[in-house]
Structure 1
Amino acid sequence: MASFGLFETSISLFCFLIFFYFLIKKHSGYIKKTLCYPWNWPVLGMLPTIILWYKRIDVLIWVLEKSNLTFLFKGPWLTRMDLLFTVDPANIQHILSSNFTNYIKGPEMKEIFDVYGDAIFTADGELWRNIRMSSMVMFNHQGFQNFLMSITTSKLKDVLVPLFNHYSEEGTVVDLQDVFGRFMLDTTLVVITGSDPQSLSIEMPEVEFAKALENAGDSVVYRHVIPRFLWKLQNRMGLGQEKKRIEAGASFDRICAKYIFAKREEIRSQGIHHDHDHSDGECEDFLTYFMKLDTSKYEHLKTSDDKFLRDSIVSLIVAMRDTTSAALTWFFGLLLENPNVETKIRHEINTNLPKTATSQERPWSAIDHKEFLNTLVYLHAALYEAMRLYPPIPLERKTSVNSDVLPSGHKIDANSTIIYPIYALGRMRSVWGEDALEFKPDRWISETGGLRHEPSSKFLVFNSGPRSCSGKHLAMTAMKIIVVEILQNFDIKLVKGHTIEPKPRLSLHMKHGLRVTLTKRCSA
């Protein structure tokens, strides 16, 4: 009888949500003008309001400001959807650092993100430690860093700049979001698998992997706002977003299987079956590194298992490709709206650019001119400021192991879900000041002209505590290289009437892309 009652409640809730959907469709014009604190309905909790506000990120910001930076969302009865939202830096510091062991990704997140597999996104405990430690060895190796920078600069010189020259001559409208997504997909796949899909070209071919990543990300967001039993039902029936998720997972399986098979054949032909420490300065792609890894050092890594390798490939692509392409897109979008910032960046580049960099025989590269990139303090500040306002990953979540009390005084039960919306954190006036919504790179410049430090619990773009992004330095270096190359060669203008607004996804994209025209700059 109890199970029948739960089923009856689920069906009633399902029917109500359908009714509610058509109701808000009918009155959407009025709803967009309405702003009020979420009402906790009987049975339904606050879910109707969340559905109402699904695509209005500004509402969450308003609610958090009214709730003193921490807000408890009450989900429908029996759905396990109660969530604690917090952008309080003290709470974030406590969760991600001070009491790190009490807050894990948890089984629910693993289930929601299952399309990506058992990788660093969802891993906990010893598996996570093994993945992180082995990855950091690779990231910190000088040969790998040079390898990554070499790939980035060659892709810029040989593909992106010639492509932009073509668009400039033809007067073609370009979607920078699409360009950066393709650029990062190509460079990332070379770094991870050694194979270049060459998705960035004049033809701009449809790329199965990119489409799968988009659909997978949409399905993850969908699972966060819909009751579990609903998306579970859709998954079993192969409907809606769940159908796209299933297709995305199949694409990941098929494409990664080809990369794994090809890499095994390559290693077998070379007759190399042992781990080495790269002390000779040679560098390899991630897939080769994992396949040769001495697992006695990392007993929880199953490097001979195709599924582990598949999950590693997918998670690394998301971590490297999606985040960097999103950050670059929003950076240039803000630059186009703030020409005074662009002028300062161009001046900084021209002032510090080495004289040898203008040589046609030997163009500048990141490897040869690391000191030059380090002088670009204002560019660094502008990139930070863009990511503060538009973080590549707009929210993160954790699950508590045991009960706890946060610095804000909020009590946490065991197995509670905590959401820290990074997008909202960067826009809190009580955290960043009354000018929090303004794009002001100068807020990152110290009185002595250096880069101002902000605690990671306040600037959460690269995460905080033990899970801090191990590729932060490489990502910032790569973005500087790309920005310098583009600004040195082209003037960019936003297409008249083009609207820039965010789209709720796993990574923060622009809803309509970033449509621009390019003009080739004359050499000095």
Structure 2
Amino acid sequence: MHHNISNNHSFIVTKLATNNITTTNMNFFSLIFFLLQHVHIFELTIATAMFIALRAWRSKRHHGLPIWPILGMLPSLLYGITTNLYEWLSEVLIRQNGTFTFQGPWFASLDCVLTSDPRNLEYLLKTKFSSFPKGRFFRYTLRDLLGNGIFNADKEAWQRQRKTVSLEFHSTMFRNLTAESLLELVHKRLLPLLESCVNKSRVIDLQDVLLRLTFDNVCMIAFGVDPGCSQPHLPDIPFATAFEDATETSMRRFITPVWMWKFMRHLNVGVEKRLKESIEKVDEFAESVIMTRKKELALQHDKSDLLTVFMRLKDENGMAYSDKFLRDICVNFILAGRDTSSVALSWFFWLLHMNPQVEEKILAEICRVVLSQREGLKKEEVVVGSCLAFRPEEIKKMDYLHAALSEALRLYPSVPVDHKEVVEDVTFPDGTVLLKGTKVIYSIYTMGRMESIWGKDCKEFKPERWLRENGHFMSESAYKFTAFNGGPRLCLGKDFAYYQMKYAAASIIFRYRVKVLENHPVVPKLALTLYMKHGLKVNLQRRDAAEIDKYFKV
């Protein structure tokens, strides 16, 4: 019996050992099979990823940017947005000799042709103007903010507005109003504000101050109202902040899939909620201006501003223009008259800070022009008299200042990029084929940085490139210098903008040195106009009599 128990025990031990060995062998082979299978998948994944990456980077050589499956060139665009979009775009365009086709994801509406070639710009802005309207995509994207105003209109709607504005801008009354309003704003608001900052050694945001000045100026000229935004105590004006937010958020629609921002707008969430709130504040201001003007006209008050002119006109059906259309008129001309000049002046003063020799030449010119235009004027009267007001004919003769402002606009155009949409199949002069419906974006910012247009010193701030040998200002082709657009859409307010900028700049430079704070970040904001993202924080230093005196020759 004992013997049987021993045999059974040996049998059980042997059986267990055999089972353990078998299990171990099975686990080992399963592990080997598992590793072989997944290593194969891992290697295949690595090989596929490398193939896609290499193909994408090879496509960069031919198309300007890597083209990724499904996403297209979107990853590169996102990188550009996180850095400096305009510099990034310029690098790509210059590398591609001025034109390239952006291919976005299949689920977005980002496909377009980008160009900075002067031949192409002349073709789309003048030669084939009728084939390149703003287009349905552009108008729809900005309709919430700009409505059917002149900057967002095409065809007959655009022509009617432009004709009316052109007649008004070229009238003697408008020019007189421009000079008078600017004189009042500069001497009763801007200069007292700057003098207060000097006395208190206070740092100011010069971009904000200039935005306030040009806002009041355009409202006085275009609408006959004075918002008081530039008063020395810098009152809080909700409209100004709302308008800047609205232009920034509207610009972001162009780099967001249409279905996405439309969905966000429908739900009233995210940036679309912010845009709606900003536009409501903009509308409140415009509606108050319109209502005030209607009451004044009902009382037979004689007005000659742009808004009143439109109120007295009839539309194509013989009816008075609606309040909605008058609102669009207000918003579009605020965008034109407020943002463009003030933004240009902000970059101008930053460039002067970086190039003090240019500032010295401007100051010398101001003194020379004033003395030459005012017979019998003693230099002591000018040096001591800080209330000196420049005359229109003196501003006109400041050629070097005109050149310096043009040079600032060349490098930092107030509208850095613009949009068109082709309505028929055409071919650009550089050979690029455009099919009907293609969106075209032309980069004015890039043009100022192209050696093929401006030479090897294109990135230098050099006002002399705009002067003839006799020192007089020399304009350039609108298709080389497109800061004021070109062709039939050439900016009607170009002369007004130059006068406004020259008068404000001369008045400041004659009295103060503008010093940007050390290490203050200066980068552009992504918006419809080229705002400085962090403003322009400056200190002002009053010029003394001895400093001015050396520029007078008696």
- Quickly name the TM-score band, shorter chain normalised: 0.7 to 0.9
User: In structure 1, the residue corresponding to 2:151 is in which secondary structure?
Assistant: coil
- Farther off after superposition, 351-360 or 116-125: 351-360
How many angstroms does 1:41 deviate by?
1.4
CA deviation map 1:168-208 (0-9, x unaligned): 00000011001001111111111222221112234323321
CA distance in 2 between counterparts of 1:143 and 1:174 reads 35
Q: Determine if contact 2:223/2:308 at 8 Å carries over to the other structure.
A: yes
1:424 counterpart residue number: 446
How many angstroms does 1:497 deviate by?
2.2
User: In structure 1, the residue corresponding to 2:288 is in which secondary structure?
Assistant: helix
1:103 counterpart residue number: 132
User: In structure 2, the residue corresponding to 1:203 is in which secondary structure?
Assistant: coil
- Farther off after superposition, 54-63 or 88-97: 54-63
Counterpart pick for 2:422 among 391, 397, 400? 400
User: In structure 1, the residue corresponding to 2:442 is in which secondary structure?
Assistant: strand
User: In structure 2, the residue corresponding to 1:53 is in which secondary structure?
Assistant: helix
Give matches, 1:168-207, under 5 Å. 168-207=198-237
Counterpart pick for 2:306 among 273, 286, 296? 286
Letter aligned with residue 75 of structure 1: G
1:381 counterpart residue number: 403
Give matches, 1:9-408, under 5 Å. 37-54=64-81, 55-56=83-84, 57-114=86-143, 115-270=145-300, 284-293=304-313, 295=314, 299=316, 303-353=320-370, 354-355=373-374, 358=381, 365=389, 369-408=391-430
How many angstroms does 1:302 deviate by?
6.2
User: In structure 1, the residue corresponding to 2:513 is in which secondary structure?
Assistant: strand
Letter aligned with residue 130 of structure 2: T
Q: Determine if contact 1:222/1:241 at 8 Å carries over to the other structure.
A: no
Q: Determine if contact 2:223/2:289 at 8 Å carries over to the other structure.
A: yes
Shift of the 453–148 alpha-carbon distance from structure 1 to 2, 3 Å rule, reads closer
How many angstroms does 1:219 deviate by?
1.4
User: In structure 1, the residue corresponding to 2:66 is in which secondary structure?
Assistant: coil
How many angstroms does 1:271 deviate by?
6.8
Letter aligned with residue 468 of structure 2: S
Counterpart pick for 1:494 among 516, 524, 527? 516
Q: Determine if contact 2:107/2:257 at 8 Å carries over to the other structure.
A: no
User: In structure 2, the residue corresponding to 1:485 is in which secondary structure?
Assistant: helix
Shift of the 41–62 alpha-carbon distance from structure 1 to 2, 3 Å rule, reads same
Q: Percent identity?
A: 36
Letter aligned with residue 87 of structure 2: D
How many angstroms does 1:364 deviate by?
5.5
User: In structure 1, the residue corresponding to 2:341 is in which secondary structure?
Assistant: helix
CA distance in 1 between counterparts of 2:282 and 2:197 reads 32
Letter aligned with residue 311 of structure 2: M
User: In structure 2, the residue corresponding to 1:475 is in which secondary structure?
Assistant: helix
- Farther off after superposition, 354-363 or 488-497: 354-363
Q: Determine if contact 1:252/1:310 at 8 Å carries over to the other structure.
A: no
The normalised TM-score by structure 2 is 0.82
How many angstroms does 1:462 deviate by?
0.4
CA distance in 2 between counterparts of 1:456 and 1:67 reads 22
Q: CA RMSD in A?
A: 2.0
Letter aligned with residue 522 of structure 1: D
CA distance in 2 between counterparts of 1:302 and 1:182 reads 35
Q: Determine if contact 1:126/1:300 at 8 Å carries over to the other structure.
A: no
CA distance in 2 between counterparts of 1:397 and 1:304 reads 28
Shift of the 383–361 alpha-carbon distance from structure 1 to 2, 3 Å rule, reads closer
Letter aligned with residue 65 of structure 1: I
CA distance in 2 between counterparts of 1:448 and 1:195 reads 42
How many angstroms does 1:522 deviate by?
3.0
Q: Determine if contact 1:163/1:201 at 8 Å carries over to the other structure.
A: yes
- Farther off after superposition, 385-394 or 246-255: 246-255
User: Which ranges in structure 2 are unaligned for 5 or more consecutive residues?
Assistant: 1-60, 550-554
User: In structure 1, the residue corresponding to 2:484 is in which secondary structure?
Assistant: coil
Q: Determine if contact 2:111/2:439 at 8 Å carries over to the other structure.
A: yes
How many angstroms does 1:468 deviate by?
0.1
Letter aligned with residue 374 of structure 2: K
Q: Determine if contact 1:130/1:300 at 8 Å carries over to the other structure.
A: no
1:469 aligns with 2:491: yes
CA deviation map 1:266-317 (0-9, x unaligned): 0110177xxxxxxxxxx72221222123x3xx63796531001000000000
Letter aligned with residue 112 of structure 2: L
1:441 counterpart residue number: 463
Shift of the 302–88 alpha-carbon distance from structure 1 to 2, 3 Å rule, reads farther
- Farther off after superposition, 300-309 or 508-517: 300-309
CA distance in 1 between counterparts of 2:169 and 2:269 reads 40
User: Which ranges in structure 1 are unaligned for 5 or more consecutive residues?
Assistant: 1-34, 273-282
CA distance in 2 between counterparts of 1:213 and 1:201 reads 19
Q: Determine if contact 1:218/1:241 at 8 Å carries over to the other structure.
A: no
2:532 counterpart residue number: 510
User: In structure 2, the residue corresponding to 1:80 is in which secondary structure?
Assistant: coil
- Farther off after superposition, 471-480 or 456-465: 471-480
Give matches, 1:470-485, under 5 Å. 470-485=492-507
CA distance in 1 between counterparts of 2:453 and 2:319 reads 43
How many angstroms does 1:131 deviate by?
0.3
Q: Determine if contact 2:210/2:345 at 8 Å carries over to the other structure.
A: yes
Q: Determine if contact 1:130/1:301 at 8 Å carries over to the other structure.
A: no
CA deviation map 1:29-83 (0-9, x unaligned): xxxxxx9952111221111210121142222111111111001000111433211
CA distance in 1 between counterparts of 2:346 and 2:317 reads 37
CA distance in 2 between counterparts of 1:521 and 1:362 reads 10
User: In structure 1, the residue corresponding to 2:541 is in which secondary structure?
Assistant: strand
Q: Determine if contact 1:303/1:309 at 8 Å carries over to the other structure.
A: no
